[in-house]
Chain A
């Protein structure tokens, strides 16, 4: 494959082509769809974390004027099949995940019945008329308690709350721990988070009885995977299914799933002979759209006195919730794969236990397993530096692979494609005015203030990925078509939902074809036009989808050269192509443009022998490796002693995602990603009480960053191309989230270090910090008089 050379658009901060429609209220989200005869569904959900359903009466709801019908599990589960999970651990115990509860509910929000009515308000009214007789059962919400012998069982027939175990072990862990000068131990908690895309989920299903075909419009990141998986649930063949994702109002992993409502609406559209729409409410979204993180790990890092890190051990529990969504068990395994981070560790042992509790399922949430790894490791690095009395920067530098050591083979079995961790760290230090920042800290501390500096040097895994490591194909597909008019249609199998690939892909295609961006339309999110695709997640879309389009462009150029040669009386080899024009070497005056070639290709009267009409090509890009973006984030933070409030004083991020197709979009992804981490580190958390009641079911209680929480960023980049794709790009959708977590936490912990505070679990809520400060201050007060006397 040739390397892509920029002749205009690539690398430019170009305004997005998506924006005019979105900024004027002319974009179509799922809730904006109105089909003739459309019915409206509403879902009744369990208020109990665990209960037996003794009785279910739907007569009153069915009798309400305007109600089409009401369905319970007994009436629909058989027809809708089981919700799929792609994980395949050998010892995995998977509950039967039916679309509605059977005789037992096992989390708050568990769907119990579905109403279909003439309007959303009637459907909502009908929910209040359904009577359910619940017999509450003991519930377990704490994954550590779930592992205790006397714990209630989420799925009694399993006989245990353990869903699976997973081990990643490599190298002589015991030997290296024996050689260590010190072992740094820390329990690391990643609280549960709720993704909270501002657009809740929703779908509309419409069945064409004559064709036997079904169209599902759904707010998802993965229309193609839905098309692959839905036939197994509702019995409509894949080639009679069309999945459309209009605009999607944010996903962050929460829409990387096949959900019960999508299957139920599809089934009911067939059963009732009318389109069926369901729009999720916010409370439903908080209860019954996947959650993220929720890992507890006991970590140990073996180090030498000079700061060399030797090996890492972790015993980790992942709280899966009550059943498995598409990737539920897989996510925490990514933590294991990335647990060696940027460092030349010699051995690893990562023991993972997946646990069922009476909560909503966890799954991919922005970063998906990698923030957990980065946070754990970078906290350990800081703790190690502190215990050894070393500079945390020098300690990191000591353990980085050198730029010449790439591809770098990690102890976890990965091959990092390319990297220059030293350069990113150095640049971040420069942008942060590192020495001045240290002086600022000294001055603040002397004035009695709690001021800290934290950094994280991170690497992440993106561009997922080679099909051999994926459950159902890791390739990506793209198609480019020169229309008869000379306009260009590019079709991607990825499903952008805010990332801006209608723009960045037009940049890539426009550059390579030498066609103005205005003449290019990028189609996405409709399986009828994008015949193949593996969609958008894991920061893969530009890396893989962009490459698939580039490959298609190259095929078209090759074909066009043959045609141009025939028309100009030369062989294809003699044809030069640049700036959208084809000419015989040395005779640029007689150049042919795309418009002319398109006409010839489709009107097809002057085609050379054996030349197929048309100028269209599609490609599957199968990556040989994942990509490994990296970077350094540096944060200065101050903690207010009397309240525990944290202020971010400075935020510097240097990220290396390879060459940037559109720096404006890269910056947007980073800033957005950092905001997610800011939320996680400082205040976001999903809270269930001991009985499994959800206490953060609305925006009134689930705290997310608002504009006032955002510091002014200093954002820089380094560029280390990836050898894994011709554009050299690495992906950036999750980098902010992965890099930021430990940098912010380390800064806050550094601020508290003079008090002797070693570690506080996330989120670093003011009250927690205040308590830690109070406790240590009280200890110091006790000690002081003695030392002075």
Chain B
């Protein structure tokens, strides 16, 4: 319950934060909303020498439309996303997923950027970020970098973020209402046993499917997407495609769900999410 001692730095600008990160290297941890880092500090699973609090940096918390995409600042809380009228209108998958993250108190403090960087394999956001083909904008000593969502998640708690980079913004496309997130919750922790986010592009006759909680990292269910490309979203087609949701995946097994059950839920929730999204088209 009591973290190990650390030094605390509170940069005022992103540039200053990057410099501090370069200076302190891997002995430092960035603190955003703190809802991934502080639990780890309390259990002493993380014992950084230095904590760099980016919570006071101006303009990291915003949701705005830019060049036909929606930009979400990394420090935007789950709650702000949940309550955003702009997102409800232009990218409703994000508010829908936000409602599944943690609980009210966690959503009031936890941030989208913090959650993505933590890369918990059972977090909700990765499913949405993948299904939306989002872009992750980082800033480091060499300037900004844009990383596609599909290459952002590398493994359990590992992302493509370099040690001296800070996640600054998440960019998502404007979508129709035909999206859905269906989650089986790990009831003790609130994380996902199998969370499936779906974006149906009716005009292009394509779907994209992001799945979290099932494997060591969130993944795109490409086998499902391929099967449905160009096809009408009939119940039969959806069922046939959803059956591939865990293809070539090594599902995790633990006391909360065996690998077999997780794979089953991945398929089932994919079918259901596709059904819901299709019905919203």
Contacts and interface: CB of A to CB of B under 8 A. Distances in A.
Contact present between A and B (CB < 8 A): yes
Interface of A: 120-121, 124-125, 128, 281-283, 642-643, 683, 687, 695-696, 699-704, 706, 767, 770-771
Contacts of A696: 255
B147 interface: no
B261 interface: yes
Nearest to B1: A281
Contacts of B5: 121, 125
Contacts of A695: 255
Contacts of A702: 188
Contacts of B189: 699-701
B252 interface: no
Contact of A120 (B2, B4, B188, B256): B2
A282 B39 CA distance: 13
A643 B183 CA distance: 12
Nearest to B267: A642
Given A121-B2, A767-B258, A700 B44 contact: no
A643 B264 CA distance: 9
B1 A700 contact: no
Contact of A124 (B2, B184, B257, B265): B2
B268 interface: yes
B162 interface: no
B248 interface: no
B187 interface: yes
Given A120-B2, A124-B2, A128-B4, A699 B265 contact: no
Given A125-B5, A696-B255, A701 B188 contact: yes
Nearest to A700: B189
Given A125-B5, A695-B255, A770 B187 contact: no
Interface size on B, as a range, is 10 to 19
B268 A699 contact: no
A687 B255 CA distance: 8
Contacts of B184: 643
Contact of B187 (A128, A282, A683): A683
Interface of A (DSSP majority class): loop
A125 B3 CA distance: 9
Given A687-B255, A700-B188, A770 B264 contact: yes
Interface string B35-47: 0000000011000
Residue of A121, A696, A700 contacting most chain B CB atoms (<10 Å): A700
Contacts of B257: 767
Q: Which 5 A-B pairs have the closest CB atoms?
A: A703-B188, A700-B189, A767-B261, A124-B2, A703-B187
A695 B187 CA distance: 15
A692 B140 CA distance: 46
Contacts, number: 40
A13 to B, nearest CB: 31
Nearest to B4: A125
Interface string B168-201: 0000000000000000100111000000000000
A767 B189 CA distance: 17
Interface in B260-281: 261, 264-265, 268
Nearest to A119: B2
A696 B257 CA distance: 14
A770 B261 contact: yes
A121 B41 CA distance: 13
Contacts of A700: 188-189
6 contacts: A124-B1, A125-B2, A125-B4, A643-B184, A767-B261, A770-B264
A701 B255 contact: yes
Contacts of B268: 642-643
A128 B5 CA distance: 12
Given A643-B268, A700-B189, 11 more contacts: A121-B2, A121-B5, A125-B4, A128-B4, A128-B44, A281-B1, A283-B43, A699-B188, A701-B188, A701-B256, A767-B261
A776 B258 CA distance: 19
B153 to A, nearest CB: 21
Nearest to A770: B261
Interface in B176-231: 184, 187-189
A131 to B, nearest CB: 16
Nearest to B264: A770
Contacts of B44: 128
Nearest to A283: B43
Nearest to A709: B187
A645 to B, nearest CB: 9
A328 to B, nearest CB: 25
Contacts of A771: 261
Nearest to B189: A700
A53 to B, nearest CB: 22
B86 to A, nearest CB: 29
A200 to B, nearest CB: 10
A390 B203 CA distance: 59
A680 B127 CA distance: 32
Contacts of B188: 699-704
A770 to B, nearest CB: 7
Contacts of A120: 2
Nearest to A706: B187
B36 to A, nearest CB: 13
Contacts of A281: 1
Contacts of A687: 255
Nearest to A200: B1
Contacts of B187: 683, 703, 706
A576 to B, nearest CB: 60
